[in-house]
């Protein structure tokens, strides 16, 4: 039976890489994000490259009515979601708490925490009804440890870590799997977004070390999602070899 995956934040980085790997493995793919042009070109590329079926949903995950409407709009055969990848997220700014920008804080809380909750609230009942499913939450090393100036981003990812554990308990009677994948430094648009479009500053983050690629995380997520029915991988932390944890990194120059 063909399986269906829904990937939030598929217009870039880890989510986009996930869409390719699941499509390549013959999943039907639901891709979501706010940038419709990117969704349309990704959809065409997935269909051409992997001959798979693709459904696009363009919405802002921070808006609960948009989330509800998007999931409700899925044709019934697309509502049979086997894997939900709660990936959409961002860091916005990097500053002490006393100098923090409240708009940045709200953006991170609304996307990383509330958006993930809205998606799960709409999708988990569908999985329960069909008596199967797997929710994969993309956390971060920032959800395991805090680092200087990372305060609110780290708090949202710690919340994802807590929700991952809590969801696993709630889903247990329904035998729905819940897993989290927690990356360290991955070179995507993440730093560009964190630094509000400052390309030079974003590039500096990865100087002197080999960061993870989005595909490294996508492969891990696919591995987590493709274990046998009796196996649930609860929690994976994955960093570049040059990174020991959220704060210790080695650079060659």
Residues engaged in binding ligand 8X3 (CB under 6 A): 140-142, 150, 184-185, 246
Both structure tokens of 199: 């390309």
And the tokens for 234? 């609860």
User: Could you say which of ligand 8X3, ligand NDP, none residue 89 binds, taking C-beta under 5 to 8 angstroms by partner kind?
Assistant: ligand NDP
Q: What are the φ/ψ torsions at residue 217 (nearest 5 degrees)?
A: -75, -40
* Least gap, CB of 115 to ligand 8X3 (angstroms): 15
- Least distance from ligand 8X3 to the Cβ atom of residue 195, Å: 11
Angstrom distance (rounded) from CA 72 to CA 122: 8
Q: Which is nearer to ligand 8X3, 27 or 153 (CB)?
A: 153
Count other Cβ atoms within 10 Å, centred on residue 94: 18
**Can you tell me the distance from the alpha carbon of 91 to that of 196, in angstroms, rounded to the nearest whole number?**
10
CB 185 within 8 A of CB 205: yes
Name the binder of 246 from ligand 8X3, ligand NDP, none, CB < 5-8 A by kind: ligand 8X3
The residue annotated as part of the active site, out of 147, 153, 195, 206, is 153
Residue 11 interaction partner, one of ligand NDP, ligand 8X3, none, beta carbon < 5-8 Å per kind: ligand NDP
Distance from CA of residue 217 to its chain's centroid?
10
145 binds ligand NDP (CB under 6 A): no
| CB-based contact 56:118 (threshold 8 Å) | no
Cβ atoms 137, 179 nearer than 8 A: yes
Closest residue to ligand 8X3 using C-beta atoms: 140
Q: What are phi and psi of 12, to 5 degrees?
A: -165, 165
Please say which residue, 42 or 81, places its beta carbon nearer to ligand NDP: 42
Q: Which does 225 bind (CB under 5 to 8 A by kind): ligand 8X3, ligand NDP, none?
A: none
Q: Is 138 in the site for ligand NDP (CB under 6 A)?
A: yes
Segment holding 57, helix H or strand E:
strand 54-58
According to the binding rule CB under 6 A, does residue 120 interact with ligand NDP? no
Q: Interface with ligand NDP includes 35 (CB under 6 A)?
A: yes
Shortest reach from residue 26's CB to ligand NDP, in Å: 23
Q: Nearest 5°: CA angle at 7, between 161 and 136?
A: 30
Pairwise CA distance, residues 205 & 24, whole Å: 31
153 is catalytic: yes
Q: Which window, 30-38, 94-102, 123-131, 222-230, contacts ligand NDP (CB under 6 A)? A: 30-38
User: Which one, 126 or 236, has the nearer CB to ligand 8X3?
Assistant: 236
> 85 - beta bridge partners?
7, 136
**Active site residues per annotation:** 153
Which residues of this protein are in contact with ligand NDP, per CB under 6 A?
9-15, 33-35, 60-62, 87-90, 111, 138, 140, 183, 185-186, 188-190, 193, 214
């Amino acid at each position: 039976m063909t399986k269906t995956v829904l990937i939030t934040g598929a217009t870039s980085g880890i989510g986009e890489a996930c869409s390719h790997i699941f499509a390549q493995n013959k999943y039907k793919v639901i891709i979501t994000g706010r940038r419709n042009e990117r969704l349309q070109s990704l959809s065409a590329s997935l269909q051409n490259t992997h001959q798979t079926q693709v459904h696009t949903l363009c919405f802002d995950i921070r808006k609960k009515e948009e989330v509800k409407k998007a999931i409700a709009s899925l044709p019934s055969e697309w509502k049979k979601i086997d894997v939900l990848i709660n990936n959409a997220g961002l860091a916005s700014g990097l500053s002490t708490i006393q100098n923090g920008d409240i708009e940045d804080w709200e953006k991170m809380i609304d996307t990383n925490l509330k958006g993930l909750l809205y998606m799960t609230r709409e999708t988990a009942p569908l999985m329960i009804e069909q008596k199967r499913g797997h929710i994969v939450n993309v956390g971060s090393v920032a959800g395991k440890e805090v680092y200087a100036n990372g305060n609110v981003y780290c708090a949202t990812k710690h919340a994802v870590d807590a929700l991952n554990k809590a969801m696993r308990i709630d889903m247990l009677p329904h035998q729905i799997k819940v897993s989290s994948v927690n990356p360290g430094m991955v070179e995507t648009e993440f730093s560009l977004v964190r630094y509000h479009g400052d390309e030079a500053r974003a590039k500096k983050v990865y100087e002197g070390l080999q960061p993870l690629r989005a595909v490294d995380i996508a492969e891990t997520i696919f591995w987590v999602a493709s274990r046998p029915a009796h196996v649930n991988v609860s929690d994976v932390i994955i960093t570049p070899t040059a990174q020991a944890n959220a704060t210790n990194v080695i650079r060659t120059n």
